[in-house]
């Protein structure tokens, strides 16, 4: 039986075929390993070199598979990329600064009896995401804090923004095609 294995494996080796799990059956690979351990084997010197190449190829294939898996995992990650975070963070910072500026300007105009900013515009800043800056400005400048006719719609606009942001976050997590599309558009904007 050992000689049949040796003949088959030596023919296999002479054929120049590479040794990998996909190209040789398990029984042949096992026989090959056993013949390499037999000191009187005619292919012992070939076994040492081929066995090294076999393990090296298997290690390389495993490394390639892991790299591909990690690359696909990175592409499918729900964590926003740095350009997306910069755009979203920049937008929120600007809209909150703008809202705080509007409240400051309206308070100053109220004190000097000048032209005022309409309440609907101040409430719209909350719907667009500037409610943090708006709330800060209301408390800091003591402006529009008592007037219930303003506060209720402002709070509704603030809750509307929460619903919008929750919808965007849900789409980001559960719609990978939309996520990829948005990321590629933001990267295009950041490049130029």
How far is residue 119's CA from residue 98's CA, in Å, rounded to a whole number? 15
The pLDDT of residue 28: 58
Q: Which long-range contacts (CB under 8 A, 24 or more apart) does 33-38 make?
A: 34/5, 35/2, 35/5, 35/6, 35/9, 38/2
CA-CA distances (angstroms) from residue 106 to 44, 135, 174?
A: 91, 14, 41
CA-CA distances (angstroms) from residue 71 to 64, 77, 82, 185?
A: 10, 10, 17, 20
pLDDT tens per residue, the chain (192 residues)? Answer: 444 444 445 555 555 444 444 445 555 556 655 655 555 555 444 555 554 455 566 667 767 777 776 565 555 677 877 888 888 899 999 999 999 999 999 999 999 999 999 999 999 999 999 999 999 999 999 998 888 899 999 999 999 999 999 998 888 888 888 888 888 888 888 786
CB 134 within 8 A of CB 146: no
The pLDDT of residue 25: 54
The pLDDT of residue 31: 60
The pLDDT of residue 122: 93
The pLDDT of residue 177: 86
């Amino acid at each position: 039986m050992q000689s049949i294995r040796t003949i088959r494996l030596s023919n296999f080796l002479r054929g120049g075929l590479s040794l990998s799990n996909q190209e040789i059956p398990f029984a042949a690979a096992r026989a090959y390993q056993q013949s390499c351990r037999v000191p009187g084997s005619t292919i012992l010197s070939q076994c040492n070199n081929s066995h090294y190449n076999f393990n090296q190829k298997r290690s390389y294939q495993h490394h390639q598979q892991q790299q591909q898996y990690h690359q696909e995992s990175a592409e499918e990650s729900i964590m926003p990329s740095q350009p997306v975070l910069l755009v979203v963070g920049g937008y929120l910072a600007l809209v909150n600064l703008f809202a705080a500026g509007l409240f400051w300007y309206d308070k100053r105009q109220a004190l000097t009896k000048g032209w005022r900013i309409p309440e609907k515009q101040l409430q719209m800043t909350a719907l667009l995401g500037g409610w943090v800056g708006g709330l800060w400005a209301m408390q800091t400048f003591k402006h529009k804090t008592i007037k219930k006719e303003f506060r209720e719609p402002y709070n509704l606009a603030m809750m509307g923004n929460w619903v919008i942001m929750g919808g965007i976050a849900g789409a980001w997590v559960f719609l990978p095609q939309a996520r990829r599309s948005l990321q590629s558009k933001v990267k295009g904007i950041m490049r130029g």
